[in-house]
Amino acid sequence: MTHIVSRMFDRELKKGSAELLVLSLVEARPRHGYEISKLIEARSNGAVKFNIGSLYPLLYRLERRGWIQGRWVEKAGQRRRRYYRLTAAGKKMLASHRSTWESFVAAINRITEPEQA
């Protein structure tokens, strides 16, 4: 059952919410690609997964649009990693996505509520 549900999520809802997911995760602080994919998986209890093929195209697309900005950071004793942070334009877009998502969810909830007898 979980397997079928997760594939459903993957195909349908991921498409609409992918940008919102990534933008909201880099809102708090800059993160690198692997961290973002692990966070999404962890916080969704495995329901949503992004692999290389789905995560990095999204990151590059968002970066091209100027909503996130990547830069290489070298920490002591580690290889350098590319961290992504939310830009000011990205903040605006995130707020807009959230609002749209909330309106959408509210609308779906209203439709799918059991009818009062």
For position 16 contacting other proteins by CB under 8 A, the verdict is no
- The angle that helices 88-112 and 14-28 make with each other, rounded to 10 degrees, is 130
Query: Binding other proteins by CB under 8 A: which of 30, 81, 98, 101?
Result: 81
Annotate each residue in 33-72 with x if it binds other proteins (CB under 8 A) or - if it does not, as one string.
xx--x-------------xxxx-xx--xx--xxx--x-xx
For position 79 contacting other proteins by CB under 8 A, the verdict is yes
For 54, other C-beta atoms within 10 Å of its C-beta total 14
- The angle that helices 33-43 and 14-28 make with each other, rounded to 10 degrees, is 110
Smallest separation, CB 36 to other proteins (Å) = 10
3-class secondary structure, 42: helix
Strand segments (E) across the chain:
31-32, 68-73, 81-86
Q: Which is nearer to other proteins, 8 or 73 (CB)?
A: 73
Which positions lie near other proteins, rule CB under 8 A? 32-34, 37, 51-54, 56-57, 60-61, 64-66, 69, 71-72, 79-82, 87-89
